[in-house]
Structure formats: C-alpha cells, structure tokens
Structure 1
C-alpha cells in the first residue's frame, strides 16, 4: 500500500484536514500584510527643496508664486524636485511675479532638505532616511532586498528535508515576527536593509513550509484545494494591509503592530503537526503512527486503525525504494539537456515564471504611481485577485492548458500595452487596466505552477519547480526598479517593456508548451516529449522518437523486489 492509500484509509479530506487548512489559511495572512506593507514603507511623496533659509511665511507647498524659485525640469514637465535657485530674501522681496524669474541665478542642490506634498500623512522610512534625488535609487534597492530574501528562502528546502517541516515552519515564523518588530526601532539604513532581507526570507520560508505540510496531509486529487486556498488567504491579507496602513500611518508603529501580531500565532506551536510522510522517510514510525491514529480518529475512520498499523510499517521500505529510484534522476536531467525540444520547453516555462513575477510585483508596488487614493487603489489591487483566482480555477478545470496559460498571459500583456499607450492621460482608464491586468496575471501565476508540474517528468519535477521558483524570485528582485522607472520617467516605456515581455511569453506558450490537461503525468523525458503541442500540429517541430511503453507503476516495495529477481 502506498502512502496516499494509507492516507485515504485514514481519511484524505475529512475533519482533520479541514481544521489543518483553516490553520494554513490563517497562517498566510501575515505574509500578505508584510508584502503589501512595502508599498507604504517605501512611499515617497512629491517633494521640493525646503525654503527654511528664506522668510516665506504663509506660502504652501503648491503656492504658484514659488514656482519661479525652482528650475523647470523638462523631463518630468514640472518644477525641479531636487534643485533651487540660489536667491536671497532681498531678491525674493523684489520679485515681480508677472515678469521676473531667477533663471539667471546659480542653481544649487537643496540646502535645507525637502518639504513634502503628503496628502495621506504617511511617515515612511524612506522620508526619514531622505532617500531622495541622487539617493532615490536606495528605495528600489530596499524593496529588492526584501525580494532577494524571498528568493533565498529556497535554501530552506534542504533544511526542511533534514530537520523536518514543522521545526523549519516554527523557526521561520518566529524569525518573521521578531525581525519585523525589531525593524521598527532601527535608525540605521544598513540595519533596515538587513532586516528587510530577513523579513522576506522568513515570510516566504514560512509560507512554503506550511504549504508542504498541507500538501503531505492529503492526496493529489485534493491538493488543488490547498493551492487555491493559499492564494485566497494571501489575497485576504492583501486587502487588510491597506486598511491597517491607513489606521497606522507611522512606519515604526505599522511594523510594530505587524510584529506583535505574532503573539496571536503562539498556538501554532501546538496546532501545527509534523508531516507523517517526512517522519516515515526518517524511519520515525511510532510518531507517524500516532499522527495517522489522530487523523483516523478525527475523521471517524477508527475501523481503519488496525489495518493502518500493518501498512505503515511497509511504508518505510517504500521510502527506501524511492531513494534508490532517485539515483536515476541525474540520468533524466541529462536526457533533458540533450533534447533541444525539451530545453526549449523549459526555457519558455522559465520565461513565464520571470514574466508573471515581474508583472505581479510591478502592479502591486506601483500603487503610488496611480492617481487617486493609494489606500483604496491598494485594496482594489488585492480584491481583484479573488475573481482572478476564480478565473484560474475554472480555467484549470475546463480549458486547455496552453490556451488558458497563454491566453491569460496575452490579456495581461495587452493591459500593459494599453497603459503604456494611454500614458496616464485618463487616470480611471489606467486604474481599470491595472486591475484587469493584475487579475489576468494572478490567474496565470496559478495556472503556471500546475502546467509546469504536469510538463516535468517525475524524477525532474522537483528540480524544475525549484528552478522556476528561483527565476520567479529574480523577477521579483527586478520589479522594484520598474516601479522606480514609472515614478521617475512616466508610464510609457516601463509598461511597454512589460507588454512586450508578456506578449512574447504568451505566443511562445501557445505554440511551444504542450497540452497536459487530463493526461497522465509523464514518468520520463520521452513521455514528456510525446505530449501534443501546436507546433507539432502545424508540422513545424521535428518529429520525435516515440517513447517506449511506459512501465507499470510500482505500488509497493514487495512488487519491486519481485520484478528485480525475475
């Protein structure tokens, strides 16, 4: 009996799993709170040089009489944010607004800091550290450090395999809340950047560990529910985050509250179980039996307990068999590298990972560039993910993989193209196009992980998924600079580049990636190459050698030994 069969006997989706999914659902909300908080932590309002050195009482930020004090910035078509004419009080008093400017005077950098046009009253660390003008590049750098931490969380995979899912989950959850709380006290930009990395690392590692635990407590046919529930919980946190930022405009207190939320998660120490699959792989059979006993009792499958005790003992041998079979993984990787068609499929898949990540993070962090209330805009960008998840779920159930994957990617690209061409001439249109693009992109994100899982041969599936996660992380690191470019140079060029990236990816996906819906997962590279693609249908792709007959799937270690001795 296989692990999934034992889990089925104990109850694969009963009361126990429903309770566990609720725990996992609640766990993802702080991750979204922290991710979305970056928008407000790294907020930089419109600004211009302070006039503290001049006696300019009763003049507001937008006083038109002050425009003659600042050079005109041709690139942004506004007065300069970073320089001012070097004038004195006497010259200012002699100013005749109608026919006098100081264009002939020396232009200098801001001598006394900046004043802000800050209608939302946000107090961000970027303002406190004065990352403006020549140092404005620090703003995307801080966001990239957070994203780089998320990328680095892939290193916890081997730790999870070595020490267990539960210890890694608990440790990274603790680190996430402690690092968030400590970050609120820092006065050092260097220390702030280090903690940004730590927060990104821990919150993603926590998310991955929780997802693996959930996946290993149910059978493959039910894992789609885990995937969609994790997306929904993240979206719920995404919607809550702007509300929290609105109530707490001070960045230090916003981080403290996010850190103190950790006290609500102390019960996770008792609620989060260890994966029985990991326990069996480590030979800890007694602990695994206790967990299966708890699952069966909670799911009212007590009649299965006597059978489970005998079958669980066989699973340890089954895991050892899987380790021996795993020795052929290197051979499968070599076959992938030697097949031009398979390499092309992998490259197109990796391009999709990079594209959806850049666009998702770009849309999420470009709230400040959109006109209107940024709190409402941020909440809308979170809420639009919910219909995106419904679209993704329905597409997975009823539509061809290349068409749903490539078609939604194409709609994402067209949304970016429309934003680029509109150049924010209509703020409502730009917002609506951003919402539609975010919805389509979120749906692609969901479909991409399923499509990649179905494309990859069994022994290389984990490697391909891990590589995709790394490429996705690289897209996340790049995306803050896209947001910075939008704020500094306008909508046209940044969104045009995103549109070209998405449209190229969609066309390649439609013609290169295979149809995998309703088809058995490939066991070997040959099986994967035998999938139907639109290039093959058009006769463009070179014919491939038909794969050998797929071997019968081994159901137990006893059957493996019998076949080996024949």
Structure 2
C-alpha cells in the first residue's frame, strides 16, 4: 500500500485539516495590514508652507482675509506639473521687520529671496504620521525610508524564523508572531516622535513573518497532494487583508485609531491557543513521540477514524513524520542544508531561478500596490526622495 493511498484510506485530510486550513487562512490577514498600512500611516495630503511662526504669533486672532493676505506675502506661488498656480510647499519669502508687517502696506518688508519653511498647512490635519512628524521637503526622504526600514526588519525576521521554529516548534513561533504583530501595531499607534516611529516600524517588519510557520504547520499535517491547497489558503488570507484594511481605513481616518482598531481584532485569535496543535513531524524529529502520538490520536478522532486499528495509526504517524517510528531522525541545521544545496549544481541552479522569480514577482507586486505610497510611483518616491536628501546633505553632489 502506497503512502498516499494510506492517507486517503485513513481520511488524513478530514475535518481536522479543513479546520486547520480555515485557521491558517484567517491567521495571515494581519500580514497584509502590516505590509500596506503605509498607504494610510504615511498618506500625503495636499500641503503648502504656512505663515512663519514669528508672524503668526503676532497675529493670533486674525480674520480669514487677513490670514490669506499673510499667506500671499510670505509664501511664493509656483507652477506645478499641471501648469496650475499653487503655493510653495517648501519655501517662504525672507522677511525683515516682521513686527511692522501687520497690514497690506507692509508688503515692502518682504523680499524675493526665499528660505526653507519650518511650518506647513495640510489639507487634512492629523490624518497620518507624515503630517504629524513632518516627513516633507527636507525630510521627505523619510517617507520611502519608512518602507525601507520595514523591509530590513522583515529580512532579519525571515532569516530568524526558520531556525527558531526548528528550535522551539512551529506552533510556539506561530502563536508568538501573531501576538507580536498586534502588539507592534498597537505600540506604533502611540509613537511620539519620528525616531520612535521608525524604531517600531523595524519591529513590525521583524514580526511580519508568520508565513513560514503557518505554511509549515499546514503542510506537515496533510498529505503531499493537499499541500498546495494549504498554501493557497494562507495566501488567500493575505488577499482578504486588503478588504479588511480598506474597510477600517474608511471608518478610521486618523492613522493612530486605524492601528488601534485593528489591534483590537487580536481578541479573535485567542482561541488559536487551544485550536492549533504542534506539528507531529516536528515532534517526532525532536524525539517527543508521546506528544506526537497524542496529537495523531486527536486527529483520528476528529476525522472520525478513531476506530482504526492501532497499527494503521502507527503507519499514519510514520507517514506524517516522514520516517520509521523507531528510527532516530537527525534534523539538519540551516547552514548544513545550504552546504548540501551548494554542492549540487542542479539544486543550486533551481535555487537561483526561484530566488530570481520571487524577486521579480515581489518587486512588481509591491510597485503596483504601493504606487500611491506618496502620491507618485513607488520607485520615483523611493529613489528621488532619497537622492534629494543625499544632495541636500552633500552626498552624491557630483551626480546631483
């Protein structure tokens, strides 16, 4: 009897595996929120320079017409890409004798020289971290940089989650990552400064790595022919996250309350502590046979195969663990596996092809999804914004 036939006869993909597929489907929803919250948290509304602070303090209670007059004499008018006249986003006129500039006759105290402005007026106040922490003009490079530090954190998290799940188990890492995702988002909503905001963004990237343990849990509970379906469920949960993010973004226009509202949905995942079991494959690989047998018995009971003979249950354990029951399994570490792959030209070639394909698809995916990241294309925002900062700092001055 082949292994796959034994899986079918023992009803391996029964109620338990179907329930697990649903749980994994729901568990990947937060990953989308973590990846694409930038569309809301660093949303850039229309803005322009405001009246300088010294002049504004001297004219606290002014009429709307007087305020418009102060804007006209302190903020230059420029032509945008649509050939429309708009107030300057980054520069104020240099002024002398600000105390005298209290009526229209004071325009003589304004000269044509300009200097970077320190205050801005946004079309919508307090809608994003960008408007609160002023990621504009000379600090505009910080907008794309927020996604960069998130990606760096995710890179480190991805490198760590594999060895960690091999060390402590798929279930433990899976549940801890789900909890940390919500804690990180809640902490991000209480950011009080740009450095704190950037630091927590790195943390959100580190914990946004629930996929590896989730997919490992699913595939190690099912037969080979059902592993594609398990992976599909995890990916569809990510897609559902787009709808959840859009729904919450519609009702919560303030970025802080958007993150807090989503953090409260963590209560829905509390039952996972009792519904998710450890992988029998992993338990067998570390010599915890009794726990593996107990979980397999639970699976057989929920799949209504609790009357199967004991030797069939042992065969099921053998198939799920991938080894004989009494055979000692040696787990290879990450670098040992990498060393074996590098020694095999065919595997190395396939690994390079998979990496390149993943790079291309991910790059295209994020470009399409984040094209409105800062009101321009993602690449334009990322590279032009960063290069502008480098030019202002004197870096890459020859290229600028």
Q: Shorter-normalised TM-score: what interval?
A: 0.7 to 0.9
* Cα deviation, residue 9, structure 1: 4.9
In the other structure, the counterpart of 2:20 is: 20
Provide the C-alpha distance between the structure 2 equivalents of 1:82 and 1:19, rounded to a whole number of angstroms. Answer: 55
Pair 1:9–1:321, CA change in 2 (3 A): farther
1:93 aligns with 2:93: no
In the other structure, the counterpart of 1:167 is: 172
1:116 aligns with 2:125: no
* Cα deviation, residue 308, structure 1: 3.2
1:72 aligns with 2:81: no
* Cα deviation, residue 203, structure 1: 2.5
Q: Is the Cα contact below 8 Å between 2:22 and 2:233 reproduced in 1?
A: no
**RCO comparison, higher one (Cα < 8 Å, 6+):** 2
Q: Is the Cα contact below 8 Å between 2:44 and 2:131 reproduced in 1?
A: yes
In the other structure, the counterpart of 2:64 is: 58
In the other structure, the counterpart of 2:36 is: 36
SS of residue in 2 equivalent to 1:106? strand
Residues 281-301 of structure 1 deviation map (CA, whole Å, 9 limit, x = unaligned): 112111111111121222222
Which of 209, 214, 230 is equivalent to 1:210? 214
* Cα deviation, residue 260, structure 1: 2.1
* Cα deviation, residue 107, structure 1: 0.4
* Cα deviation, residue 484, structure 1: 3.9
Provide the C-alpha distance between the structure 2 equivalents of 1:2 and 1:190, rounded to a whole number of angstroms. Answer: 58
Which of 102, 106, 110 is equivalent to 2:113? 106
Q: Is the Cα contact below 8 Å between 1:13 and 1:218 reproduced in 2?
A: yes
1:255 aligns with 2:264: no
SS of residue in 2 equivalent to 1:302? coil
Q: Is the Cα contact below 8 Å between 1:30 and 1:237 reproduced in 2?
A: yes
Provide the C-alpha distance between the structure 1 equivalents of 2:248 and 2:116, rounded to a whole number of angstroms. Answer: 36
In the other structure, the counterpart of 2:395 is: none
Pair 1:44–1:290, CA change in 2 (3 A): same
In the other structure, the counterpart of 1:320 is: 329
* Cα deviation, residue 362, structure 1: 2.0
In the other structure, the counterpart of 2:396 is: none
In the other structure, the counterpart of 1:191 is: 196
Pair 1:322–1:203, CA change in 2 (3 A): closer
1:219 aligns with 2:223: yes
RMSD: 3.7
In the other structure, the counterpart of 2:397 is: none
Q: Is the Cα contact below 8 Å between 1:37 and 1:245 reproduced in 2?
A: no
Aligned residues: 367
Pair 1:208–1:191, CA change in 2 (3 A): same
Please show how residues 46-445 of structure 1 align to structure 2 within 5 Å: 46-51=46-51, 53=55, 57-58=63-64, 66=72, 69-70=75-76, 72=78, 79-87=87-95, 90=101, 93-94=104-105, 105-111=112-118, 113-118=119-124, 123-154=127-158, 155-204=160-209, 206-311=210-315, 312=317, 315-317=324-326, 320=329, 330-336=339-345, 347-367=352-372
Pair 1:83–1:220, CA change in 2 (3 A): same
* Cα deviation, residue 319, structure 1: 6.1
* Cα deviation, residue 14, structure 1: 1.3
SS of residue in 2 equivalent to 1:315? coil
* Cα deviation, residue 256, structure 1: 1.6
Q: Is the Cα contact below 8 Å between 1:31 and 1:237 reproduced in 2?
A: yes
SS of residue in 1 equivalent to 2:127? coil
Residues 519-551 of structure 1 deviation map (CA, whole Å, 9 limit, x = unaligned): xxxxxxxxxxxxxxxxxxxxxxxxxxxxxxxxx
* Cα deviation, residue 57, structure 1: 3.8
Provide the C-alpha distance between the structure 2 equivalents of 1:61 and 1:243, rounded to a whole number of angstroms. Answer: 37
Residues 224-243 of structure 1 deviation map (CA, whole Å, 9 limit, x = unaligned): 11222222211111112022
Q: Is the Cα contact below 8 Å between 2:157 and 2:206 reproduced in 1?
A: yes
Provide the C-alpha distance between the structure 1 equivalents of 2:65 and 2:142, rounded to a whole number of angstroms. Answer: 31
Provide the C-alpha distance between the structure 1 equivalents of 2:284 and 2:256, rounded to a whole number of angstroms. Answer: 45
Residues 132-190 of structure 1 deviation map (CA, whole Å, 9 limit, x = unaligned): 11111111112222222222222110111111001111111221111221222221322
Length-normalised TM-score, structure 1: 0.57
Unaligned 5+ runs, structure 2: 388-400
Pair 1:309–1:354, CA change in 2 (3 A): closer
Q: Is the Cα contact below 8 Å between 2:47 and 2:123 reproduced in 1?
A: yes
* Cα deviation, residue 217, structure 1: 1.0
Q: Is the Cα contact below 8 Å between 2:49 and 2:75 reproduced in 1?
A: no
* Cα deviation, residue 23, structure 1: 0.9
* Cα deviation, residue 277, structure 1: 0.8
Q: Is the Cα contact below 8 Å between 2:189 and 2:256 reproduced in 1?
A: yes
Q: Is the Cα contact below 8 Å between 1:184 and 1:255 reproduced in 2?
A: yes
SS of residue in 1 equivalent to 2:115? strand
* Cα deviation, residue 246, structure 1: 2.0
SS of residue in 1 equivalent to 2:149? helix
Provide the C-alpha distance between the structure 2 equivalents of 1:192 and 1:235, rounded to a whole number of angstroms. Answer: 26
Unaligned 5+ runs, structure 1: 372-419, 421-479, 490-566
Residues 366-405 of structure 1 deviation map (CA, whole Å, 9 limit, x = unaligned): 235669xxxxxxxxxxxxxxxxxxxxxxxxxxxxxxxxxx
Residues 322-354 of structure 1 deviation map (CA, whole Å, 9 limit, x = unaligned): 869x97974552232xx7xx8666545433322
Q: Is the Cα contact below 8 Å between 1:280 and 1:315 reproduced in 2?
A: no
In the other structure, the counterpart of 1:448 is: none
